Structure 1
């Protein structure tokens, strides 16, 4: 276990004795620069609100649950408007609007106030920006707003049969977009569940593979996003849904290993599809499941079906977050539950460090950690800031007074919070 523990440590950067961060850091995808919810920025405020540490806020055309992405002085985010159009917005880091582009139309709200068709987060590499909507429209633009390409994934890969829309966000790696399209029904020949790789600059397909499973009913679907696992020996794609987590080769999508029983067959609930996404560090993959299911910690070196192979399982924890994705830092796993409870586990052993209550409300945003602070965003606009580490300590309880389901984004000393009404820029004054 000592070798695993050493891999779990996160190197702390030195802090400059100024109000500026050590280095300006981009936030290119919904889980940040390292795809794990962790920022290296420093000197971030714990306390903020409508009258405190707000650099600016701008009114948005409508609500969305997606996370903004930031590169340099550009911010990109998705939204809907009063006509139900699904839009990609571009603004600068002063809040000035630069352009907006319609990706699709016909927005569909989810359970009244839970979300809509603009729930997928955009992503950028500093030159181009990509935006996918829940109806499968996927488009690429340059930073000036010029459309580079656009594709209808339902026309290309089959009609989506998924109750709340295809809200999975693609992952970008070395010029390739990877998408998991796990959307349910079909016979042996037409079953609509696949994983695809596209040339990011053109939208052309590089490969497509089927993703079989024995899930049924709503469990054939997935709202989770794919992630890349990487260590000093290997790198592969992880897709998450339909009762399995599956590792795929980046070269052709072929399957390396899979782990099932994530929705246990002995107590199967056909309504429990996956929403939270996995997270990894070298030597460890933490796998959330569906509401009432377990959290698994897997070793990355599997082959074939590892479901019942204990040599590839580090530990299992019985309580999983429903929507917020896990976070791993400094040898700890943070699990923000849907009701605001915070469960912290030892990453090497799975032993519980603490289980404490924060704000008792729905939590849909994934936690973000920066500057020794864990930011937990509740649906009613309250943001609890918890001291990172093995001892529970509430640093601040903040109230924006607006609905929010988006995860925070952090760049260049600023915390960006996208509520249903505004984009807020929070900065230490």
Structure 2
């Protein structure tokens, strides 16, 4: 039975204290179907440390992972001293319901100072269980009451990590399976795990001729699905590949993401692909391209192929793409926004500066607005559409690497110091 969250499941998760009649769950780091899109309305566009803050909850340590929300519970990972923990908070008031240790904070490799941590991979939930991976290699399953169901260490099972800046890939939940990529050296692996037991279903070597820093991918797996058709996307080490869900066999591979003629030995991928039923948006890094791939692609292909919708010269280096109403939005790591036509790749606007800061989180959409969260705590709200227009800028006194979350009529921003629930409804407790 498919347990992945679909929008019709939201009807059974009414939240009495929330202002909308129906509220979206946010079950994975990019929300429903990992698209970064919420159907909720009347989400705040303006706030500050004193304005429109329903509550804030002190974090036990730093973390770059994005929280997930199901009904009245929020789940997120964090460092706490020498440990990594999974927290469950009450969405009404931010109070801690339970906390469980998952792993340790590795002393090596060193994580990117001030930007990420051993708690960078985001949890996933189906409303009954929560799955979480941490930088020391643990992948664990808990029930929503906090009971550990299973846990294993991926370094013990699949070999020692060789990431320069630590393991950050988030497993994707689809059906009763977890799909995970560990692309950090030769060999790298794409893995399928039974979500109920933690047992390996299959493992395949993710082949590549990439070298040096490119062996280290910080991107996450994604699922493309349309009706009863689905496959897995793995991203990194110079390629994006599609894999059969049954056995991991390769379906297609897009090349020249790191052009052989001008090969960049430092072009490691951080941004993850975006998979909609109609189109797959494949980012790269630094000065690499963005490639729009048709979902019916087969075999190995590159520039000029019938399986490519377009190639565009500008890519987001860290934030993942967003596609809404036929428009592709690309947020640069330095605070510039590009908007493309999803059919042609035509740029309606390109590299529009919206804020001078580092951008490590991915954009999200709700009610005609795009939320862009900067590492300095500034969230810029941009009007969706072909014309670039800034609607608001909002600053919190915190550092932010996690992506914004929209659920229960609120916007949740996870900072290094606090988790903020942004909305006009305050707790009565």
Are the aligned partners of 1:107 and 1:116 in contact in 2 as well (CA < 8 Å)?
no
Whether 1:115 aligns to 2:111 is no
CA distance in 2, matches of 1:378, 1:184: 30
* Alpha-carbon distance, 1:345 to partner: 0.6
Conserved 8 A contact 2:79-2:105: no
CA shift for structure 1 position 110: 2.1
1:377 aligned onto 2:378: no
Aligned partner of 1:261 among 256, 259, 262 = 256
In structure 2, which of residues 402, 405, 412 is the aligned counterpart of residue 409 of structure 1?
A: 405
Structure 2: 5+ residue stretches without partners? 1-17
Runs of 4+ aligned residues of structure 1 deviating over 6 Å after TM superposition are none
**Is residue 213 of structure 1 aligned with residue 214 of structure 2?**
no
How far 1:235 moved relative to its partner?
1.1
Match of residue 88, structure 2, among 87, 90, 100: 90
Query: Which residue in the other structure is 2:157 paired with?
Result: 156
State the partner residue of 2:167.
166
Deviations 1:280-337 (A, max 9, x none): 2222111000111110111111211112551111111111111000000001000001
- Residue pairs, 1:15-164, within 5 angstroms: 20-81=19-80, 83-93=81-91, 94-108=93-107, 109-164=110-165
Q: 1:321 aligns with which of 316, 325, 328?
A: 316
Does the aligned pair in 2 maintain the 1:38–1:368 contact within 8 Å? yes
Q: Write out per-residue CA displacement over residues 114-164 of structure 1, whole angstroms, 9 at most, x where no aligned residue.
A: 211111101111000011012211111011111000001111111111111
Moved more, 22-31 or 166-175: 22-31
> Cα offset for 1:21?
2.6
How far 1:415 sits from its partner (Å)? 0.7
User: What is the root-mean-square deviation in Å for CA atoms of aligned residues?
Assistant: 1.3
Q: Distance in 1 between matches of 2:200 and 2:253?
A: 24
C-alpha distance in 1 between matches for 2:228 and 2:99: 42
Q: Is the 8 A contact 1:321 1:336 kept in 2?
A: yes
Q: Is the 8 A contact 2:37 2:366 kept in 1?
A: yes
Deviation at 1:84, TM superposition (A): 2.0
Alignment partner for residue 357 of structure 1, among 353, 358, 362?
353
Matched, 1:396 2:395: no
Contact 2:321 2:363 in 1 (8 A): yes
Q: Distance in 2 between matches of 1:72 and 1:123?
A: 14
Against the structure 1 CA distance between its residues 84 and 358, is the aligned structure 2 distance closer, same or farther, given a 3 Å change threshold? same
1:419 aligned residue: 415
Query: How far, CA to CA, are the matches of 1:374 and 1:207 in structure 2?
Result: 38
Quickly say closer, same or farther: Cα 1:233–1:96, change in 2 above 3 A: closer
In 2, the alpha carbon distance for the partners of 1:425 and 1:308 equals 44
Query: Is the Cα–Cα contact under 8 Å of residues 77 and 122 in structure 1 kept in the other structure?
Result: yes
Deviation, 1:250, is 0.6
Aligned pair count reads 404
- Counterpart Cα distance in 1 of 2:255 and 2:160: 26
Q: Which residue of structure 1 aligns with residue 266 of structure 2?
A: 271
Q: What CA distance in whole angstroms lies between the structure 1 residues aligned with 2:226 and 2:233? A: 14
2:331 is aligned, of 329, 336, 342, to: 336
**Cα displacement string for residues 65-117 of structure 1 (whole angstroms, at most 9, x for unaligned residues):** 11000001110111112x22111111111211011111111345523212111
* Distance in 2 separating the partners of 1:135 and 1:292: 31
3-state SS, counterpart of residue 281 of structure 2:
strand
Q: Name the SS for the 1:34 alignment partner.
A: helix
Is the 1:324–1:363 Cα contact (8 Å) retained in structure 2?
yes
Distance, in Å, in 2 between the alignment partners of 1:315 and 1:308 is 9
Partner residue, 1:12:
none
- Once residues 354 and 269 of structure 1 are traced to their aligned partners in structure 2, the CA distance between those partners, rounded to angstroms, is 27
C-alpha distance in 1 between matches for 2:230 and 2:196:
22
Cα distance, 1:22 vs structure 2: 4.9
Ranges in structure 1 where 5+ consecutive residues have no aligned partner: 1-18, 186-190
SS in 1 for 2:372: strand
1:189-204 equivalences under 5 Å are 191=187, 193-204=188-199
8 Å Cα contact 2:84/2:119 also seen in 1: yes
What is the deviation of 1:271? 1.5
1:38 positional shift: 0.5
How many angstroms apart in 2 are the aligned matches of 1:88 and 1:232?
33
Check whether the contact 2:170–2:180 (CA below 8 A) recurs between aligned residues.
Answer: yes
Residue 311 of structure 1 aligns to a residue whose secondary structure is coil
Give, in angstroms, the shift of residue 233 of structure 1. Answer: 6.4
| 8 A contact 1:43–1:428 mirrored in 2 | no
